[in-house]
Structure formats: C-alpha cells, structure tokens
Structure 1
C-alpha cells in the first residue's frame, strides 16, 4: 500500500479523465432524436396472463391429445 501513498495523484488524474470523457460522450448524445425515433417494441410474452390460454398454447394442447 506504499505505492498508493506515493501515487495517489495518478489515481485522481485517471478518475478525472474518466469523468471528463463521460461528460463529453453524454453531451454528444441527442435525447430528442432518440425519443423521436424510438421504435422499440416490447418482447411479446405468452405467459402474461397464466389463466388464459393463448392460441399457441391451445395448438400445443390440441396436438398433444
């Protein structure tokens, strides 16, 4: 741990560099364009309502009988 006592300032410079680069990258992002062009669709789940059988589950049940 002696090296930490001697080189603490290098660790601070490294962390400051990470912080500065993060701020620069966040300023480059355009949140308005992201919200405008957001065409992300949720993944369809068959097990949203476990009490109701979906059409795919009905087909599986019909094939198993």
Structure 2
C-alpha cells in the first residue's frame, strides 16, 4: 500500500475525470425527446388482491 501513499493524486485525477465525463454525457441527453419516444408501460397487475381474500386473522365478533 506504499504506492497508494505515493500516487494518491493519480487516483484522484482519474476519479475527477470519470466524474466530469459522466456529467458531460448526462448533459447530452435530450429529456423531451426521450419522454416523447418512451414506450407505454403495460398496466400494473395487483397480485395483492388475491392475498387479501385469504385473510388469516380471526374474525371479530
């Protein structure tokens, strides 16, 4: 781990470069075009309705 103490600044430069590159790529995303071309999601199936029928709690009198 001695090399880490000597060359920590190289790792810092690499991480900063990755961060800057990620920010640049995210700025190129056109949100309006993405939302316009986004496919429709199928309707959500609620499977909890089946479980609600099988109630294990004792019924109140």
| TM-score range for the pair, normalised by the shorter chain length | 0.5 to 0.7
Report the alpha carbon displacement of residue 2 of structure 1 after superposing the two structures with TM. Answer: 1.1
Segments of 4+ moved more than 6 angstroms: none
Q: Structure 2, unaligned stretches of length 5 or more?
A: 54-61
Report the alpha carbon displacement of residue 36 of structure 1 after superposing the two structures with TM. Answer: 1.8
User: 1:12 aligns to what?
Assistant: 12
Between the two proteins, the alignment pairs up a number of residues equal to 51
Q: Structure 1, unaligned stretches of length 5 or more?
A: 52-65
Alpha-carbon distance in 2 for matches of 1:48, 1:33? 35
Report the alpha carbon displacement of residue 47 of structure 1 after superposing the two structures with TM. Answer: 2.0
Instruction: State the structure with bigger RCO (CA 8 A, min sep 6), 1 or 2.
Output: 1
